[in-house]
């Protein structure tokens, strides 16, 4: 980290700043210039608050030369992380597909979809029990009953389950859930992230509606800083000026994350586009850019779905997508 001092900084003010850095446990390199001087801070600066430094009257600017995230950073963990979930592996030569309805609606619905997506090659069953809806009048999910139904579908099919948590006070209800999803709207719910950092379950961390990749990495860092290193990123599209698709899929986030981090990355083309016919081409694109898997919404009868029916695939459409994805992923040397 480099601190640039204002031209008028006095010796006394400069010494005071250098002493405060020493008191924080940092060493530094001070370089006296003709116009202005700079201080290069040596060591792990991830815990330094740059805004606090900028508030000092003699500081004209602060530049980070290393990233503010450490645990999620590939520099400190060069090997790809592999997440082990109930006998399945995410990352390392595998391409994992998570499929299921947007929300759990009934026993018949979730078991029927679970059986169908399993037959087509999905490794995980998804289904929301706590739904983050824009309208308070829309279906909010079956809550604890929805989680029970997911567990029944797991018992019936053997598929591990992925479901969203919206509030840390619900964590006890999630003890038999295999992967806990943090939805886009909660990517920066820091109290929730801190609590999930204290559990040992894999966390599927969706990208926020309008968040940068660095902010997303910092959210992963929140979870990891608590001791839980089982984090999986999920690109689900971001808000842009475009209105043809529900969101704009940012496939470049996949190679960027792979470069900056060691954590697995999956892609959710359902929420990214909101359009069923776009799921196939974008699923294939996700394989091509190096994603570790997909999350796809599938409903036994999309017309009657209580949430996101318009973007859901029928089991038959999903089966078709899976055949294409499987062929491509296997061509890339990955096990589906
Ligand atoms: C979901 O997975 O159903 C969901 C609500 O996703 P997102 O948080 O990406 O909108
Ligand atoms: Mn949905």
pLDDT, tens digit, 9 for 90 and up, residues 283-321: 999 999 999 999 999 999 999 999 999 999 999 999 999
Same topology, domains 2-63 and 83-331? Answer is no
Helix axes 253-260, 213-225, angle to 10 degrees: 40
- pLDDT at position 65 is 86
184 lines ligand 1 (CB under 6 A): yes
What is the Cα gyration radius of the chain?
23
Provide the edge-to-edge strand list for the sheet that holds 2-5: 27-31, 38-42, 2-5, 59-63
Q: For the chain, how are helix, strand and coil distributed in percent, rounded to 5?
A: 40, 20, 40
Rounded Cα gap, residues 115 and 252, in angstroms: 33
Rounded Cα gap, residues 99 and 113, in angstroms: 9
Half-sphere exposure (Cβ direction) of 55: Cα atoms closer than 13 Å = 5
Q: Where are the alpha helices (DSSP H) in 170-252?
A: 190-197, 213-225
CATH of domain 2-63: 3.30.70.1140
Contact 217, 260 (CB under 8 A): yes
User: What mean pLDDT is reported for the chain?
Assistant: 96
The atom number, within ligand 1, closest to the CA of 132 reads 5
Ligand nearest to the CA of 211: 1
Residues with CB under 5 A from ligand 2 (ion): 102, 308
CATH of domain 83-331: 3.20.20.70
Is the per-residue pLDDT at 45 higher than 90?
Answer: no
| Residue whose pair of structure tokens reads 């997303």 in the numeric block | 216
Sort 133 into a burial class: Cβ within 10 Å, 0-12 / 13-18 / 19+: middle
- pLDDT at position 36 is 84
Pull the structure tokens for residue 104: 């759990």
Rounded Cα gap, residues 198 and 25, in angstroms: 27
Nearest CA to ligand 1 atom 10: 184
Residue in 169, 168, 237 with CA at minimum distance from that of residue 203? 168
Residue in 254, 253, 236, 247 with CA at minimum distance from that of residue 292? 254
Domain range list for the chain:
2-63, 83-331
Pull the structure tokens for residue 4: 């640039």
Residue 123 pLDDT class (50, 70, 90 cuts): very high
Rounded Cα gap, residues 273 and 279, in angstroms: 8
Is the per-residue pLDDT at 100 higher than 90?
Answer: yes
Mean pLDDT computed over 192-215: 98
The atom number, within ligand 1, closest to the CA of 207 reads 9
The atom number, within ligand 1, closest to the CA of 131 reads 5
Sort 277 into a burial class: Cβ within 10 Å, 0-12 / 13-18 / 19+: exposed
Mean pLDDT computed over 180-196: 98
59 lines ligand 1 (CB under 6 A): no
The least confident of 39-48, 156-165, 205-214, 256-265 is 39-48
Mean pLDDT computed over 113-122: 98
């Amino acid at each position: 980290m480099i601190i640039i001092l204002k031209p008028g900084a006095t010796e006394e003010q400069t010494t005071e700043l250098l002493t405060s850095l020493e008191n924080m446990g940092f060493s530094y390199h001070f370089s006296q210039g003709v116009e202005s001087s700079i201080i290069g801070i040596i060591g792990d600066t991830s815990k330094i608050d740059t805004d606090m430094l900028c508030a000092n009257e003699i500081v004209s600017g602060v530049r980070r030369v290393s990233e503010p995230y450490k645990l999620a950073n590939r520099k400190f963990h060069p090997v790809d992380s592999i997440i082990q979930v109930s006998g399945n592996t995410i990352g390392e030569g595998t391409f994992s597909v998570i499929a299921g309805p947007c929300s759990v609606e009934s026993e018949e619905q979730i078991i029927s979809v679970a059986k169908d997506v399993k037959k087509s090659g999905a490794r995980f069953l998804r289904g929301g029990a706590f739904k983050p809806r824009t309208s308070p009048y829309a279906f909010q999910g079956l809550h604890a009953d929805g989680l029970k139904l997911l567990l029944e579908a797991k018992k019936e099919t053997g598929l591990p389950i992925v479901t969203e948590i919206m509030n840390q006070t619900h964590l006890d209800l999630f003890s038999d859930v295999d992967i806990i999803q943090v939805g886009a709207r909660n990517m920066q719910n820091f109290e929730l992230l801190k609590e999930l950092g204290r559990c040992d379950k894999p966390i599927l961390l969706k990208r926020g509606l309008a968040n940068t990749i660095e902010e997303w990495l910092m959210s992963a860092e929140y979870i990891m800083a608590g001791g839980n290193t089982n984090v999986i990123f999920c690109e689900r599209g971001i808000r842009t000026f475009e209105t043809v698709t529900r969101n704009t899929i940012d496939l470049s986030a996949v190679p960027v994350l792979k470069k900056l981090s060691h954590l697995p990355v999956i892609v959710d083309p359902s929420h990214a586009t909101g359009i069923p016919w776009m799921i196939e081409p974008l699923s294939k694109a996700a394989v091509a850019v190096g994603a570790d898997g997909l999350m796809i919404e599938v409903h036994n009868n999309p017309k009657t779905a209580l949430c996101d029916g318009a973007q859901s695939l029928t089991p038959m459409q999903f089966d078709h997508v899976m055949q294409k994805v499987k062929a491509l992923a296997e061509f890339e040397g990955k096990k589906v």
